[in-house]
Structure 1
Amino acid sequence: MTDVCDVKKRIESATNALTTGRPALIVSGADDQEVADVLIPAALASPRWTAWAVRYTSGLLCAAMRSTRADELELPAMVRGNGSSTTTPAFGVGVDAVAGVGTGISATDRSRTARVLASPQTRPVDLTRPGHVLPLRTASRGVLERRNSAEAAVDLCEIAGLSPVALTATLLGDDGTLLQGTELAAFAQVHGVPVVQVQDVVHYRLHHGDGHVGRVRQTATRIVDVPDRCLRVVDFYDELTGAHHTAFLGSTTPAAASTTPAAAPTVYIVFECSHRDPLAPDCGCRREFETRRIRIAAEGGIIVYLRSNPRPANQYTVQGHELAQGSISSILTHLGFTTVIVSGWPGDQHPTSARALDLTPTVRNPAYKTAASL
């Protein structure tokens, strides 16, 4: 299971660095298969950090961006038919900025080109082809569509509130080999560069959204009269999957739940059946729902009723229970809870067991920062 606290610390450390224009490292693979990529936010690329990236990498600097943005800038894949790979991004035609560069190869020139690529005002005529910065065409849904360091770099820029374009290059040692394990950790410590795993970005996207919008959006609140009690009902739209979920709240309030750990309410997870309405008399999941409803009426608590994902499961790099976990935590965070006890957590080997869930908010950068002064 992912260590949520460690993930929060790593993401927060990386986004704090990126918002000041400093680099971070994104690591993919495990053990002796590790590959670390330097990430510099293209919107804030400076000659200093671009030169640093050239010094400690292969020097092949790429500008990772969504394939949709690459299309807008008329940056097709170098190799025809390579734009739909399920495992790797496609290299685009190399570019330089039209204005403000010399030969295009210097750190000053490449940082300028990176900032031009990151600016939403940039148009195809603002770029010359070929050039010295290679676009990387990444998946439109980021790491949730293709689990790759380039997708993670773009997602992380967006999470930090920056333009979703990342200047990247693979980190190498002085002997030209990949830095891994203890050598990689030592490099990060010496240079004061935060390290993030691709899986960390996947976890953030699942539970917190993409930096622009949260994972879920509240759509309606109402009171439903049921035997013995009125329940507050809150409907949500899942921005990632397109599903509609509902939370039923008993007497528990977020304020009461946050006072002491002992006050943490119990959350019961119920998945929809074919009828898709737990309050309907002939609903197949009514018995389970009624059992939970009676309990929250007497003891307080929440029922989270999850509906099916209307989009094909093969669109995502994660399993169905992981998508459900992200929906649940995002719904509860939206409702104001910080600590809860969950019964029926998706993916548990023992679905009737309960687990504590820490919902402490993590990175929040509502402002969307565009390219630095060009």
Structure 2
Amino acid sequence: MKFKIPNSINLKEFQQWDFFSVLIMILLFLRVLVDRAGFGAVIGLALLGCFLLLLVFKLRLPKYLLFFSSIFFLLIGYAFINAAVIHGEPLYTIRGVIRYFSYFAMFILAYYSKVSFKQIFLLYTIIVLIESALAFFQFLFMGMPRPSGTFINSNHFSYFLVPYFSILLIVYKRYLPAFFVFLLSAFLGGMGGVISLLLVLFLFLSHYARKWQKVIAILIFPIFIAGAGLLMQNRVKELTDVTAISERLAENKAGGGSSLVWRIVTWKLMYDELVEKDGLYTGMGLEYASLISPYFLESSIREPHNDYLRILLEFGLFGFVLFLYGMYYGLFKLRKNAIEQSSSYYYALYVALAAIYLGMIVGNIVVLSTLWWLFLTIIAIMHKEEKQIKSKAFV
């Protein structure tokens, strides 16, 4: 299958949509549109309302999905109760419950929708084009050094591009547009996003490229690095102070310096605070690592920018182990489906998920609803279409 802008739109495909399919597409678009404005929670509540309607009128969850979702909800419920008991802020803590529950709700709604993979990717493309145009406008006419479109910041936009880059490169094999997406990520200035895209590129070449293509790739790869370096000169220069890490760690001084330096020092301070408050095993509850939380960490003025540490802070070691298992299980299933079905679609999702996990080392991705809503929608649609193919083959 090749991706191209259609000469005409087949309205019959869209006429097959039901009420929930239309709502999914609208909510996905609106969630990105209002990200910077801070109305994400409103869209999240609207999504949960749609999910409840689906639950009442037509939803029957498969048993295997009920099993895995029950573990997820028990963990979220525990972290909510833990935060409410320790900090006495149950109303604010509900914010985190809504966020994580919305991930599950979006997956289920997408699974039972009539939206196809091509249609959701078309919406993805429209969003990327709109956000790219806004980012360039902000840079050229508003003087923003790190534009972000309607996203809260440029890092969120960079990570949002990871699945799109993977699908564009692996499924549709549109190499030039994929290169422009890579340059766009570098232009946005997020090093975590660029590193994630480089992992996507590496896994693509290691799996699909022939010997002569790998030779060409070795020659072309420096062009990607040079392009990223040119667009991120200031960020690269910041790395010159990494030698000060040991000194800052000894002094417990997190402020100032490059983003990598303050991150590493902040991680240590946060971990020390967690141990000091006897929260290592049980965690300190949902939203403990959220900057706007009324019970945010005392040791920092910034969020962790490390999702593994965030999970440890909020859910403790037990939740951390379950999180790692969930990561492994997700990668394992996607890779298994990619191999068994020789599916470029599943491999693209596997690669994107691996790249997102890499970005989690230096990013706040687990709370990035704009990314997870769309990515989980794509996974759900792929799972649905796979089930439909199997049922037809069985009949």
TM-score between the two structures when normalised by the length of structure 2: 0.22
**Structure with greater helix share of residues:** 2
**Structure with greater strand share of residues:** 1
Which of structures 1 and 2 has the larger relative contact order (alpha carbons within 8 angstroms, sep 6+)?
Answer: 2
TM-score between the two structures when normalised by the length of structure 1: 0.23
The structure that has the greater radius of gyration is 1
